[in-house]
Amino acid sequence: MKVLVPVKRVLDYNVKPRVKADGTGVDLANVKMSMNPFDEIAVEEAIRLKEKGVVTEVVVVSIGEAKAQETLRTALAMGADRAILVTSDAKVEPLGVAKLLKALADEELPGLVILGKQAIDDDNNQTGQMLAALTGWGQGTFASKVDVEGDFVTVTREVDGGAETEKLKLPAIVTTDLRLNEPRYASLPNIMKAKSKPLANRTPADFGVDIAPRLTTLKVVEPAKRSAGIKVADVEELVGTLKAIGVAK
């Protein structure tokens, strides 16, 4: 079985986002970019399934600017077998990404597509569910455990209040939550090896799908700041303050 893992290049999660002064977005010039952390978990899960012998090939795909090649090389260094870059300088929304992935799934015929549950830039949490809709496959979202057995995948999902388990017919879509696994670091020899792994270049035009954006971002601003509070000296003063605001009697 083949696994398809879409990955996105985003602002590194350790970098504090800065809103551009002209209100057009977040400043991404000269800042560290990395693979979306949830996608790293997706790549790791796919590689683990291969190591278990359940999966034969791990194909990673990214849709974005040419630099997303670096993100794909990272995935290859972790252990993915080959990569596909669909180059687009214009921003592609989750709906457009899902359409391109559907077209790729029709070509590649994966048994499983594993995606991060959300990208930490736009926080949309949509692509996996949308791809599931377009393929008509089952969706195991927010996964904390994935078991492939025969023609089915059993997914434990993190839901409000606890965990829920669903059994999906393959092929299926899985989106990863934080506790599914801890992604490995690529070793230096593997980083070197990744340079010679195949990376195919494609463009959205190859797939003939409508990826025109439906949303226009009118402006981006910083959230309202909280004003600095007070420090109290001891528990007695804290209790007094809590009483004053009505928390304690």
Of 31, 90, 109, 178, which lies in the binding site for other proteins, with binding defined by CB under 8 A?
178
Q: How far is the CB of 34 from other proteins (least distance, A)?
A: 14
According to the binding rule CB under 8 A, does residue 218 interact with other proteins?
yes
Q: How far is the CB of 245 from other proteins (least distance, A)?
A: 6
- The size of the chain, in residues, is 249
Cis peptide before 171 (omega within 30 of 0): yes
Of 12, 106, 107, 165, which lies in the binding site for other proteins, with binding defined by CB under 8 A?
165
Place of tokens 């736009």: 122
According to the binding rule CB under 8 A, does residue 121 interact with other proteins?
yes
- Cβ neighbours for 71, distance < 8 A, ≥ 6 positions apart: 7, 8, 9, 33, 34, 35, 62
Of 6, 64, 79, 94, which lies in the binding site for other proteins, with binding defined by CB under 8 A?
94
According to the binding rule CB under 8 A, does residue 217 interact with other proteins?
yes
Reduce the DSSP state of residue 15 to 3 states and report it.
coil
- Cβ neighbours for 159, distance < 8 A, ≥ 6 positions apart: 142
Tokens of 114: 């594993």
| CB nearer other proteins, residue 188 or residue 230 | 230
According to the binding rule CB under 8 A, does residue 45 interact with other proteins?
no
According to the binding rule CB under 8 A, does residue 141 interact with other proteins?
yes
